Amino acid sequence: MIHLVLCWHFHQPDYRTEDGRYFLPWTYLHATKDYADMAAHLEAQPDMRAVVNFVPILLEQLDDYVEQFRAGSIRDPLLAALVAPDLGHYHHAQRRSLIESCFKLNFPTMVDPFPGYRRLARLWQAAAENGEAEVDYFSAQYLADLVTWYHLAWTGETVRREHAWLVEMMEKGSGFDLEERQALYRLIGEVIADLIPRYQSLAERGQIELSATPHSHPIAPLLIDFQSAREARPGLHLPAASHYPDGPARVQAHVDAALATHAEHFGKAPDGLWPAEGSISTATLELFSKAGVRWVASGEGVLRHSLHHAGLDASQPFDWLASPCRLPGQSTVTFFRDDHLSDLIGFEYKGWFAQDAVRHFLRTLEDRYKHLAEPDPVVTVVLDGENAWEYYPYNGWYFLSELYQGLAEHPHIRVTTFSEYLDLYPGNVAELPELTAGSWVYGDFTTWMGDPAKNRAWDLLCAAKAAYDKHVAGLPEERRREAELQLRSCESSDWFWWFGDYNPGDSVAAFDKLYRAKLKRLYQLLGLAVPATLTLSLSSGGGHMEGGGVMRRGGHG
């Protein structure tokens, strides 16, 4: 019997600015489309088991959106535009921002299938050829139809199948009035408000194991020690700063906050963690062990590098992948992700017929592990639960339906969770002689450190942390709490991810601006002048993001 753990990772960084307004809308959009669909697929297949990982900063933003709907005070400009009574009053910059925002999605699956949306896109593309002034010629009805279509496209397939009036709106295609837009707005609020209770219910009936990530998704090994980046890449260029000030304590703060936030939402602390980007090191695992974390998961690249450095054969690591590992003297167990199987779902199958993709996945899974001498092998598949589906037809509805049914009915594959596997087979834990620090992206940290812009971002953070350490003790209690929350947000991995000229230019610019705004706010909370260095862009970025969509993580990231 092959035991399969399918782990879905849900993550969005903190998109809020100093006044609580949302700089980017991805939290509520992914909630309405992806988190809702992922819950519905599990609900529809009671014999399916999985691990669902919520990053705490995502949970807190979902709470914030629920409160915005409850209070009737929306602080997300794009969501507010959906129910603006008269979009004709938008000034030039607002119009351009709204139009550009409403074309940030994957055109082949989210625009092209809908004639009404396609027509709006063609009108904009034609006008854009004539210069920026053309934005003022678009009517209020065009803007209303566009913002409505954008939100219709970002509804989950299961949500559409439950609410037939959404399909009727799509068939209508244009001329949406305020009442229709308000109905769509209310539905978005209801979907978001139901999410956490739905996942909690799935956990209570034993279908899923809920896990967490250190609070704001930091790269823990780098916070602890910059030198860990050189374990997998010895010649990597490091920031000018020698280390992140008091890094181990900062990681501990993220872990403590994660356990508390998870318990507040789901009634108990999680047994395990998916560290941000699957990033682990020996020191990180020691910290997790002391915190009572039962299991973590990481990438296959980390295992390969570790086996190589230990002088073991890393060319065919299936025996090691098929069992969780523990370092000598530590209690936390590590499961290693099968990169090939995970990336088939994350990147490859989006262009396949669903039945063909599922047959290929199940056959590949069996072929890779059925000949192992080790009884009851465990196979770990981990990927984002949000980004891939934008590239699948119907938001992956047919693929996930077929996959879950195929897994639930398979005679030789048993779906399970990390904790259940450890309960059933406590003796199947192997001892890994040593660990080479790394992440699930290439097995190293080059996605977050080494590039000049990334290193500069770390130096700015180190300077802000030094200022924090010097001045935070003199602040009033409430201001200290705000500064701590702000520092956590600044320590997120996401800012460093996007810097570098190989990423799409508009995404780089957006995250550059948001990161510097967060650092500025930290200085303001400390009562300090904002350094002039924060007025300079960290990276110009490169490339062009067609349609606005970027699929992150899941192998390459």
Digitized pLDDT (tens) for each residue of the chain, 557 residues in all:
999 999 999 999 999 999 999 999 999 999 999 999 999 999 999 999 999 999 999 999 999 999 999 999 999 999 999 999 999 999 999 999 999 999 999 999 999 999 999 999 999 999 888 776 688 889 999 999 999 999 999 999 999 999 999 999 999 999 999 999 999 999 999 999 999 999 999 999 999 999 999 999 999 999 999 999 999 999 999 999 999 999 999 999 999 999 999 999 999 999 999 999 999 999 999 999 999 999 999 999 999 999 999 999 877 777 899 999 999 999 999 999 999 999 999 999 999 999 999 999 999 999 999 888 778 999 999 999 999 999 999 999 999 999 999 999 999 999 999 999 999 999 999 999 999 999 999 999 999 999 999 999 999 999 999 999 999 999 999 999 999 999 999 999 999 999 987 778 888 999 999 999 999 999 999 999 999 999 877 754 433 222 233 334 333 23
Partnered with residue 9 across adjacent β-strands are: 53, 384
How far is it, in rounded angstroms, from Cα 491 to Cα 500?
Answer: 18
State residue 471's pLDDT score. Answer: 98
Q: Is the separation of the CB atoms in 192 and 65 below 8 Å?
A: yes
User: For tokens 């053309």, what's the residue?
Assistant: 134
Task: Output 65-73 pairs: Cβ under 8 A, ≥24 positions apart.
Answer: 65/27, 65/28, 65/31, 65/189, 65/192, 66/189, 66/192, 66/193, 69/188, 69/189, 69/192, 69/193
Give SS3 for 357.
helix
Give the DSSP letter of residue 549. Answer: -
Q: Is the separation of the CB atoms in 518 and 306 below 8 Å?
A: no
Instruction: Give exposure, 507-537, as e/b (b: 16+ Cβ within 10 Å).
Output: bbbbbbebbbebbbbbbebbeeeeeeebeee
Give SS3 for 275.
coil
State residue 544's pLDDT score. Answer: 27
How far is it, in rounded angstroms, from Cα 393 to Cα 54?
Answer: 25
Beta strands in 241-289 (DSSP E): 272-273
Give SS3 for 240.
coil
Q: Which amino acid is at 219?
A: I
State residue 277's pLDDT score. Answer: 98
State residue 133's pLDDT score. Answer: 65
Q: Is the separation of the CB atoms in 345 and 388 below 8 Å?
A: yes
Question: Residues 6 or more apart from 126 whose CB is under 8 A from it?
Answer: none
**Would strands 325-326 and 430-431 be described as parallel, antiparallel, or unpaired?**
parallel
How far is it, in rounded angstroms, from Cα 538 to Cα 244?
Answer: 19
How far is it, in rounded angstroms, from Cα 45 to Cα 418?
Answer: 20
How far is it, in rounded angstroms, from Cα 528 to Cα 365?
Answer: 56
Give SS3 for 54.
strand
State residue 19's pLDDT score. Answer: 92
Other beta carbons within 10 Å of 546: 11
State residue 132's pLDDT score. Answer: 66
Which one, of 235, 289, 225, lies nearest residue 437 by Cα?
225
How far is it, in rounded angstroms, from Cα 14 to Cα 57?
Answer: 6
- Kindly give the interhelix angle for 505-525 and 452-471, rounded to the nearest 10 degrees: 10
How far is it, in rounded angstroms, from Cα 58 to Cα 503?
Answer: 23
Residues in the chain: 557
State residue 555's pLDDT score. Answer: 32
State residue 463's pLDDT score. Answer: 98
How far is it, in rounded angstroms, from Cα 315 to Cα 321?
Answer: 12
How far is it, in rounded angstroms, from Cα 375 to Cα 322?
Answer: 9
Indicate the pTM of the whole model.
0.95
> What separation, in Å, do the N-terminal and C-terminal C-alpha atoms of the chain show?
31
The sign of the dihedral angle between the CA atoms of 298, 299, 303, 309 is: negative
Give SS3 for 384.
strand
Q: Which two tokens stand for residue 329?
A: 């003297």
Q: Which amino acid is at 227?
A: Q
Q: Is the separation of the CB atoms in 4 and 364 below 8 Å?
A: no
Q: Is the separation of the CB atoms in 199 and 208 below 8 Å?
A: yes
Give the DSSP letter of residue 241. Answer: S
Angle, vertex CA 89, rays to CA 86 and CA 90, nearest 5: 105
Other beta carbons within 10 Å of 443: 24
The sign of the dihedral angle between the CA atoms of 268, 273, 275, 278 is: negative
